[in-house]
Structure 1
Amino acid sequence: MSWLIKLLVNTLAVFLVAQFQWIPGIQVENLGTAFLAALILGLINLVIRPLILLLTLPLNIATLGLFTFVINALLFWLTGYFVEGFEVGGFVPAFLGALLLTVLSWIMNAILD
């Protein structure tokens, strides 16, 4: 049941990220699309992210972990590729969107816990 709540929190976070006007280039058609994007992003983070983090470990160590932000942005951008109706218009919107998504998701999960 907790994974469903986290999925709904991430759905709301994805939808809110698209509503921020100061991040141009991120669009979500509706809440259903946001739900699908949150689900796909969760699966990508579950399967692909650990492999990428392992492969880029030397670069991540050299940048003191800051390269993780780039990885998060690329995976957010990749989600836009897989989900029709969820558009990410480039690397900068993906970077800002992933950063905002992380912060919103963290805050909402902290409130619910």
Structure 2
Amino acid sequence: MEGFLIRAVVVGIGLWLASQIVPGVEFRSTESLIAAALLLGIVNAFVRPVLIILTLPIALVTLGFFLLVINGLMIELVAWFLKGFVVAGFWPAFFAAIVVGLTSWVMSGWIGGPPKGRIDVVTMRQTGPGRWE
């Protein structure tokens, strides 16, 4: 849950930055920005993976650039659900997806991102013929 909230804050910063940079993306209140960040996290967790699987051949042919289109569509979907979040078409959503993606990338490097896992080193010694410890 903590990781989701950290990602939602980072996405919220990216959405706010996109509303400042990209014409056609705006928030009517701070509450709508917070709601958009949370809802985008939920949409990215459930809807985006399905779309990625369905459009995998296109993503492979375009070397992954089609994922920007999917990210833009996710932002448009969130704007469709929230009345306080306005996106004036596909291109503003596309460029907002780029801004949010870059912000998330920079912030994950700065914050450290989610833990990458753990590596255990196992040392085995032979104690006799055919016996390992």
Fold match, TM over 0.5?
yes
Q: Any gaps of 5 or more consecutive residues in structure 2?
A: 113-133
Q: What whole-Å deviation, never above 9, does each CA across 1:73-101 have from its counterpart, x for those lacking one?
A: 11111111011110000011010011011
Match of 2:17 in 1: 16
Whether contact under 8 Å (1:12, 1:34) holds in the other structure is: no
- Paired with 1:90 and 1:74, the residues of 2 have a C-alpha distance of 10
Match of 2:40 in 1: 41
- Paired with 1:2 and 1:56, the residues of 2 have a C-alpha distance of 28
Scaled by the length of structure 1, what TM-score is found?
A: 0.90
Whether contact under 8 Å (1:17, 1:100) holds in the other structure is: yes
Letter matched to residue 96 of structure 2: G
| Deviates most, 6-15 or 95-104 | 6-15
Moved segments of 4+, more than 4 Å: none
- Paired with 2:8 and 2:54, the residues of 1 have a C-alpha distance of 27
The alignment-based identity, stated in percent, is 37
- Paired with 2:103 and 2:44, the residues of 1 have a C-alpha distance of 17
Match of 2:108 in 1: 109
Aligned residue-pair number: 111
Match of 1:25 in 2: 24
Match of 1:66 in 2: 65
- Paired with 2:56 and 2:63, the residues of 1 have a C-alpha distance of 10
- Three-state SS of the structure 1 residue aligned to 2:64 is coil
Q: What whole-Å deviation, never above 9, does each CA across 1:23-65 have from its counterpart, x for those lacking one?
A: 2110012222111001111111100111111111111111111
Judging by fraction of residues, say which structure has more helix.
1
- Three-state SS of the structure 1 residue aligned to 2:83 is coil
- Paired with 2:76 and 2:41, the residues of 1 have a C-alpha distance of 13
Scaled by the length of structure 2, what TM-score is found?
A: 0.78
Whether contact under 8 Å (2:71, 2:97) holds in the other structure is: yes
